[in-house]
Structures are given as structure tokens and as C-alpha cells.
Amino acid sequence: MPTVALIAIHGMGPTEVHYAEPMRGMLRSALGPLMSSVDLHAVNYKHILQENEEAVWNRIDTRSKVHYDDLRKFLLFGFGDAAGLEARKEEEDSVYELAQLEVARALWNALQQNGNVAVVFLTQSLGCQVLSNYIYDAQKAMQHWINPANPPAAVGVWRDLAKLGRELAGRPLTPAERDFLACKTCSAWVSTGCNIPIFMAAHKAMTVKPIEPPTPTFKWLNLYDPDDVLGWPLQPLYDDVDAQLVEDRAINSGQGAVNWILKSWNPLSHTTYWTDDDVVDPLADILRVLINQELA
């Protein structure tokens, strides 16, 4: 029976439903028999936005002539995602809330199938911002549950816990279910091509606080390629105390025959992380440690 739930969250741009399968194959090779202890769930929030993005692209593509189609489509879908996720997020059933619901649904499915297991997140690009918001809002809600004098979460699925229970279970959530959905068993987070700094830069002052470590042994590994202008280090954003939350590691994503193309950024350099040994190997190491701890 699996002892670790691996929750994958895709990034910006056009996304296939089975986007995590190539990574799953590489991870299986790295872990061998231990892969049977990993239950992979792939979050897909792209369907919330992709239909309208496709309509916009088709209008442009059929009614005008533009160059660099692949790059334009990547930018249209990618920054359309980013704009859509942050727009009017205070409204009920906003894209922001619906994307968080997909994260909660993946966690709920993992809980139903495996029980209260350790959780590891793997996020790419915009998915890093989606997860950061999800955990931050959950932790804000938990502070309110502990002390009602604290303000409740004002956005996302954690604004209305009763509604979240109806969406996932058709009933109120138990305290144990609520805590699992709030990532209180999250042991590790591997982020790749993370663009959280782009969202932080919109704030007038550097007052945005990172998430709190969900568990005492929580490890956050942020992997970025210095040639990828959408992938950023995170430690410089925070003061000395908060910077200890995350470990930045520069890698060379997309090593191989196409490496010479990646010296200047293009979409390829931002979409090759999950099929690179520099990502799969440290992810496998984290999972291996957690599995062996459970088996000991």
C-alpha cells in the first residue's frame, strides 16, 4: 500500500491531461520497487481557462497573420493563465477558487485511497503560485479555527469550509479530513521553474510572508535554471529567518542535444524540468527517505 502521496501541479501554457506521465516513468526507473509506495495524483486546473484561451488563439490564427506561432501561443496561454488566476479572486467561484478546489480534490482522493499519509508536492511554474496560495490560505484559516479573533481566509476554498465539504464529500469534513486537506502532513515540496517573484513584484512593499512549514521536518527544494527567465530563486525574497524555509538549487534543465538552444530563453527551457535527471533524482531521494521511514 502506498505510504506517500505525490501531488503534481502543472504550470502555465498549453497542458495535456496526462502531463505527469513522462515524469512518472522516469521516477519509476529511479525508485524501482519503491515506486509501489508512491501514489501519484496530477492536479489539472487548466480546463478552467483553456477553452477561452483556445477561442482567442483560433480567432487570431484564422483572421490574421503573425509569426512565431509556438512562442505566441505559449505566451497567450501562459500569461492568460496567470492573469485569470489572480483576477477577481475575492469573488465566489473565481478562477482562483476553482483552481484551489482542484488541489483540494487531488488531496481528497489521496486521503480516500491511502489514509493519512505523508504528502509531497511537485509543482511547475505557475503551479508553484497556485500551491503557495492554497497553503497560505489554509494556514490563515487554521489560525482562525484556533482563535476566532484572527481574521478568516478571505479568498479561495478556505473561505467557506462548509462549501468545501459539500464539494468533496457531500457532508461536513471531519477535523482529520480538514487537517489533511490543509496540508498538515506535507513533508516536502519540490518546485521547478517557479515564478512566485513575478507575483510578489506587484506589491508595493516586500511585505509578503511565505507559508509556515506545514510539518516540523518539512523540506522545500526550489530548482531553477538560470537561463529560464520564468524560473527564479526564492531565498533572496525573504529575510534571514524566512529564507531558511526554502533551498534554492540552480540546475541545467534540458541537458542534451538541445542544450545549445537553451542558452537564450525560449519556451523549451521552461518546460523540460520534469524530464531532467536534475529534478527527478532529488525528488526520488526525498521520496526514498520518506518511504524508508514509514517502512522502518
Please state the domain extents for the chain. Answer: 4-295
Question: Which sign does the torsion angle of CA 257, 260, 263, 269 carry?
Answer: negative
CATH match of 4-295 with 3.60.90.10: no
Whole-number pLDDT of residue 14: 72
Length of the chain: 296
Q: pLDDT digit string (tens) for 117-173?
A: 999 999 999 999 999 999 999 999 999 988 999 988 889 999 999 999 999 999 999
Q: pLDDT digit string (tens) for 234-272?
A: 998 877 766 789 999 999 876 543 444 444 455 566 778
Share the mean pLDDT of the chain: 86
DSSP bridge pairs for 249? 223
DSSP 110-164: HHHHH-S-EEEEEEETHHHHHHHHHHHHHHHHHHHHH-TTSPPP-SSGGG-HHHH
Query: Quick check: 230 pLDDT over 90?
Result: no
DSSP code, position 212: P
Query: Quick check: 73 pLDDT over 70?
Result: no
Q: pLDDT digit string (tens) for 192-208?
A: 999 888 887 766 655 56
DSSP 159-205: G-HHHHHHHHTSSPPPHHHHHHHTTTTEEEEEEES--HHHHHTTSSS
Whole-number pLDDT of residue 263: 45
What does the pLDDT average to over 5-16?
88
